[in-house]
Amino acid sequence: MRDTPVLVLGYNRPDKIAQLLRRLSELAPPVVIYSVDGPRAHIVDDERRVR
């Protein structure tokens, strides 16, 4: 199972995503593909949170 690539989809939970990525770094899968949604234009604080 260690040779399985991993797809991480992120949206609006940076603390949980960071926790997941730390754990993935320990497991060292061969490929990690990470996709996160961009900031919403109508939410003022979203751009800062996405960065």
On whether residue 12 sits in a domain, the answer given is yes
On whether residue 39 sits in a domain, the answer given is yes
Q: Read off the pLDDT of residues 3-51 as tens digits, 9 standing for 90 and up.
A: 899 999 988 788 898 999 999 999 999 999 989 877 788 888 877 776 6
Buried-exposed string 34-47: b where 16+ CB fall within 10 A, e elsewhere: eeeeeeeeeeeeee
Range of the domain at 10: 6-50
pLDDT of residue 10: 87
Total tally of structural domains belonging to the chain: 1
On whether residue 11 sits in a domain, the answer given is yes
On whether residue 27 sits in a domain, the answer given is yes
On whether residue 42 sits in a domain, the answer given is yes
On whether residue 1 sits in a domain, the answer given is no
pLDDT of residue 23: 94
CB 6 within 8 A of CB 24: yes
